[in-house]
Structures are given as C-alpha cells and as structure tokens.
Amino acid sequence: MTTSDKSSHTHTDSDEIDLGRLLSALFDYRWAIGGITLLFMVIGLGYSLVATPVYKANALLQVEKKSSALSLVGDMTDMLSGRQSDTSAELELLVSRMIIGKTVKDLNLDIQVTADYFPVIGKGIARLRGMPKPDIVIKNFTVSSEHIGKAIKIYVDDSENYQLEFDDQVFHGQVNKVLDADGINLLISNILASPGQSFTLVKQPRLDAVRSLQQALRVTEKGNNTGIISLEIEGDDRKRIKSILDSVSKNYLQQNVTRKTEEAESSLSFLKNHLPKVKMALNSSEELLNQYRQANESVDLSLEAKSALETLVQIEKQLNELTFKEAELQQLYTKQHPAYVALLDKRKTLADTKKELNQSIKRLPKTQQEILRLTRDVQVGQEIYVQLLNKQQELNILKAGTVGNVRIIDEAVVESAAVKPKKPLIIAAMTMLGLILSIGVVLLRVMFRKGIEGPEQLEEIGISVYATIPLSETQAKLEQQQKKRTHRQKLRLLAIHDPTDLAIEALRSLRTTLHFSMMESANKVILLSGSAPELGKSFISVNLAAVLALGNKRVLLIDADMRRGHLHKVLESPQSLGLSEYLAGQNQLKEIITRTYLTELDFVSRGDTPPNPSELLMHNRFKELLSWAEEHYDYVLIDTPPILAVTDAAIIGRYAGTSLLIARYYKTRVKEVDIAIRRFEQNGIHIKGVLLNAVEKNSSLYYGGHYQYSYKD
C-alpha cells in the first residue's frame, strides 16, 4: 500500500514538474515570444499599408415572373404546367460565353496593361505617397498567334513617344500612330505616365480572358425564387469594374430583347407560311358548299344538326389552337415535360369528344350529314383564318414594342471603401500567428530537448549533485575579448576579473563542500572529468583552483589532458615544459612546475602532445608526482580528458581521493552521466558527485528551487 502511494506520488510530482517546465520555459523566453509576435504584427501592419486596395462593384437585375408575351396562345402555358420563371437558367446565362465574351470584346479585356513597380512594396509605397497611377490608353492591339500570351515591354520616352521591346528587338512608336512591327499592331491614343516609366503588355487568348472574368464575376439570386439577380465583382480599378458590370448588364438585357424579337419573327414566319394554305382550304370549302346547295336547293339543317355543327366547330377551333401551342412547346420542352403532357391529354379529350359527336352525326340522313360536313368545314376555316389574321397583327405590334422580361433595377456602383485588405483582421491574424509560432517553437524546443534541465533529474536516479554553477555572461564576454586580444594583452581569469560573479560564488560554495568532504578522503588529489568535450571542464578547473588559492591554500593545478588541454593559455604558461615531458623522463619535477600570477597557485601544463598519453600516465613517475604534490600542497587538481572518449581519466582516477564529474546544462544527457559513472566504477573509481555547469538563470530552476542569490556591497 505504501509502495503504491509512493509511486503515485512520484508520477504526480513528475507530471507537475513537466507542466511547470513548459510554463517556465514560456516565461523564460517571454522576450523572444514578445519580439516575434511584435515582428509578425509589424509585418501584418506593413502588408496592410502596402497591399493594393480592392474595391467591389454591384448591380441588380430583375427577371419578371411571367410567360412569353409572344406565346401564340397567351397564358395557356401557365394554365397547363403552372410554370414560373427559371432564375437558375438566367444565372447560368449571365456567365455564359455569349454574354461574357461580348463584354471581353467590347472592353478589350483580353489586353492586359500593367505598370511596372519595385517588387512587392513599390506599388504600395507609390500609393501611400499620393503619386498618380501611371497608365497608357490602348485603342487597338493585335498580335500574331505566336505572340499571344507573351509579355511585351513599353517604355515611355515622353508624353508623345514610347519604345516597344520584345524578343530583344526595340521599336519606336508615337501616340495616335499605328506601330506595325513583326506581327504586332499597336495604337496608343494617350500616355499618362512620366518619362522612364515602363509597362508590361500582354495579349491574352480570348478564352482565357473569358474564363478569368467568369471566375471573377459573382452572380446570385437574392432570396428564394424572387427573380432578383445580384451581380458583384472585385478589382483594384474602380472605373474598370464598374464598366465591366455595366457591360454585362447591358449585354444580358440586349440578348433578352433580341431573343424575344426572334420568337416573334419565328411565329410570324410560321403564320405567313400557314395563312395561304388556310385561305385556300377555306375557299375550297366554300365552293363545295355552294355547289352542294345549288344541287340540293331544298336541303336545310335540322335543329339537331345545327347543334352538332356548333359543337364541332368549337372542338375544331380548340384543336387548332392546340396545334399552334404544340409548335411553340416543341421549341421549349420534350414530350415528357408536364406542359407538353397536359397539352396531349387535352387534345385526346377533344378528339374523343369529336369522335362521339361524329358517331351521333352518322345517325342523321345522308343529305343532312353532307350539308353538315360542308358547313362545318367552311365555319372552321373561317374561324381559323380570322384567328391567324388577328394573331399576325398582335405579333407585328409586339415585335415593334418588344422590351423583354429582364430589366436593370440598379446600375453598377462601386463601394466607396475598399473591401480588401481587411487591415484589423490581417493585423490580428498575423499577431496571433506570431504568438502561436513562437510559443510552438519554444514548446517544441523544450519537448525535444534531451539535455539535463535541472539537478533533480540526476538526483532522481541517485546521483549526488555537488554544485550548480550558473552560466556567466561575464565569462562569455571575456572569451570574446580573448579571441580578439593581441599578444601583449593578458588573459583575464573570471575569479580575478569578477570575483562576485554567480559562477564564482558557486565555486566558493563548492570549496566549502570539498573542505568537509575531503576530510575522509584518502588524499588531497581532486580529479575533474566529464563525459564528453566542451562541457566547461577547464573553466571549472582553473577557476576552482583560483578560488582555492585565494582562500590561502597552496594549490597545484595539473593539466592532464595531453591531447587537447589548453590551461597553459589561460595561466600564461609555456606549453613545452609540462606533464608529457616529465613522464617521458625529459625533465625533472621542479622544472615543469610553473608559478602563476596567483601567489598560492602553481601549474603543470600538458606539455607537447605525445603519441601515447595513456601509457605515459601508467608510468611510475606520475604516481611520484602526485605523492610529492601531496606533501607540498593543500589541494592537487587534475583536469583530465573525457572518460567516454579516452581511458586517461580512469587511469588517473586510481590516484585521486576525490573524483568529480562535470555535466553541462541542456547539453549533457542524464544517460551520458550514468554511463560515465559506470565506466569509472568499472575501473574501481567512485564518483563523489556531479558539478552541473552553465546553468541558465531561468524560471524552471526557480520553480524547482535551484537558484542563487547575489550579494554585493
């Protein structure tokens, strides 16, 4: 039960620490996050200022809900089908190539003229400075097929002259004079630009221009089945977009009127062809009736026959009207359409009635049947003929006064304010983008960071942390100065240059810890090693030696990294007389010990790089050196190579009473430290603790309780 609770508590603490690290990382990088967010906001503001304003024009049309005024049978279509105006078809018609193509042709929209500016910001800066928009007015521009879609450059010489350049050829032209050059025919009627201004001229394929306008034009119906159509278009040229909408509206209205006129002409043509035939049939019927009456003078119709005659005439009249109506419906619908089906049903009903009536007529006397038939033919013919004459007069009147069923309610107008760019929205969006990106980068960096982030990570696996040494900004400045220094300038040690630096204060704390911990040590030798290079091992070695020496303790610092050691540069000591020469038997012990500018600190440099450093360290002379040093010094510090790179540290560690491992904040992984300690243990060396170097001053350490105070007078 206790184990379970402890485990649960451990996981909870870990989760809280992880969340705390994420939050503290955001706090640590608050200035970077704020700076990036501000940068994105400035970019958004800059874009809003230099972006070309886009304006919107709109117009309103109405498609009236009524059937064609040119219908041969009036409103019969609505009665048969209940049909209303199909606005969706009109919407498609508005963006058809028939309408849009005429607009492209009328306004020369296949000709693209673009003034050249400095890339990205040039146009916006010119607009902000209030400079007039350069332009050239092209009256005619045609090119051969091989030049369609290719850019042609126009350079303005003055208000009357210009240069045309394409395919590495230059031609000179004048305003209001046709320039005919190698398949290009150009007529510029006016130049509204200063000398030196250039333009890019492109003749687009007509179909591309039509498609481009179709995509730019927005056509919608306002409401549901209202017949009110809204036209909208956006663009940076106010006059241009207004002209486009006016042209589209005008062309749509004109085609509607033309279509109605064509319907009238088609109907008139039908009547003109049909009237002579009806007239001939009527004359023939009248002649036959007269001949029959002359041959049978006493023949007259009975009341029953007269009633049947009137009914037949009405039926024939209605059937004739349906014939005319069918001619109209055939141009609009298939035979499966409800209106067409209703017409056929009505015709069948009339035909059935006519058939029944004819059956009753057959019961009349032969003479009555014949006179009734002839009289019926005459009366029906007269009705049809008069009907066609009346319809012809109506169509002539309608043709003369055709207005169509479309009208322009609102002509094109351009909104005074630009619809794009939406400056507040862009600035807000860019600010949010900068904030999200900067926070995301920080969180990703923290999540994917593999190095040690705090002493607690080492303590969790049982590794003792002897000291956390803060990252010194002063040391970073000193290193930069040392790279630029001349040979006469001396290197400055941080412990001497800034003894109140937090890193030096941490080393003083380490000095106190060592004072008590070494009371139980076998000797005075302190080994300093690391798992890998560039962890700040040499910085700690030389400054710890200086701190110990400033505490009135005799200190000997030995640079045992005979491969890459560089402590001699920091302490202004010669390299040639050093540890490698002594171990090789070339120099005596006292010859390799160098006095430093600190009274209590002596130094042994690494010497020249030998071919076999590990073998030299195993020589008995190294043991003799350490034995002599213990008798003459209070502390002997040995700076060794990384344990995971070479075995030198494992050899030296056998002679050290205190062994310390150095790890670097954010760089050294916990696993590396663990492996390094195991490597030492395999060689019988106990690591007393770890020095966590270059700890950055951030809120995550404050959150974990690991922070330093600076105390100055």
Q: DSSP secondary structure string, 222-252? A: SSSS--EEEEEEEES-HHHHHHHHHHHHHHH
Q: Is the pLDDT at 402 greater than 60, yes or no?
A: no
Tell how strand 465-470 and strand 228-235 pair up: unpaired
Q: What is the mean pLDDT of residues 191-210?
A: 92
- pLDDT confidence of residue 130: 78
pLDDT per residue over 139-155, tens digit each? 999 998 888 988 999 99
Q: What is the mean pLDDT of residues 553-563?
A: 94
Distance CA(619)–CA(612), nearest Å, equals 11
Of 94, 90, 91, give the one whose Cα is nearest residue 102: 94
pLDDT per residue over 600-621, tens digit each? 999 999 999 999 999 999 999 9
Higher pLDDT, 74 or 157: 157
Give long-range contacts, CB 8 A cutoff, 24+ apart: 368-375. Answer: 368/299, 368/301, 368/302, 368/305, 370/292, 371/289, 371/292, 371/293, 371/296, 371/299, 371/300, 371/301, 371/305, 372/301, 372/305, 372/308, 372/309, 374/285, 374/288, 374/289, 374/292, 375/289, 375/301, 375/309
Give the pLDDT band (50/70/90) at residue 397: low
Give the pLDDT band (50/70/90) at residue 77: very low
pLDDT per residue over 534-549, tens digit each? 899 999 999 999 999 9
pLDDT per residue over 48-57, tens digit each? 888 889 999 9
- pLDDT confidence of residue 711: 43
Q: What is the 3-state secondary structure (H, E, C) of 544-556?
A: HHHHHHHCCCCEE
Interior angle at CA 707, CA 701 and CA 710, nearest 5: 145
* Residue with token string 């056998």: 654
- pLDDT confidence of residue 18: 64
The number of helices, as runs of H, and strands, as runs of E, in the chain is 25, 20
Q: What is the mean pLDDT of residues 411-428?
A: 91
Structure tokens at 412: 């094109």
- pLDDT confidence of residue 263: 66
pLDDT per residue over 491-533, tens digit each? 578 888 889 999 999 999 999 999 998 988 889 999 999 999 9
- pLDDT confidence of residue 569: 86
Higher pLDDT, 664 or 378: 664
- pLDDT confidence of residue 79: 41
Please, are residues 604 and 592 in contact by the beta-carbon 8 Å criterion?
yes
- pLDDT confidence of residue 262: 66
Q: Is the pLDDT at 374 greater than 80, yes or no?
A: no
pLDDT per residue over 164-194, tens digit each? 998 888 999 999 999 988 888 999 999 999 9
- pLDDT confidence of residue 490: 55
- pLDDT confidence of residue 369: 66
Q: Is the pLDDT at 206 greater than 80, yes or no?
A: yes
Higher pLDDT, 708 or 648: 648
Distance CA(524)–CA(660), nearest Å, equals 13
State which amino acid sits at residue 508: R
- pLDDT confidence of residue 633: 96
Characterise 622 by phi-psi region: left (phi > 0), alpha (psi -120 to 50), beta (else): alpha
Q: Is the pLDDT at 405 greater than 90, yes or no?
A: no
pLDDT per residue over 626-642, tens digit each? 999 999 999 999 999 99
- pLDDT confidence of residue 687: 94
- pLDDT confidence of residue 485: 61
Q: Is the pLDDT at 26 greater than 60, yes or no?
A: yes
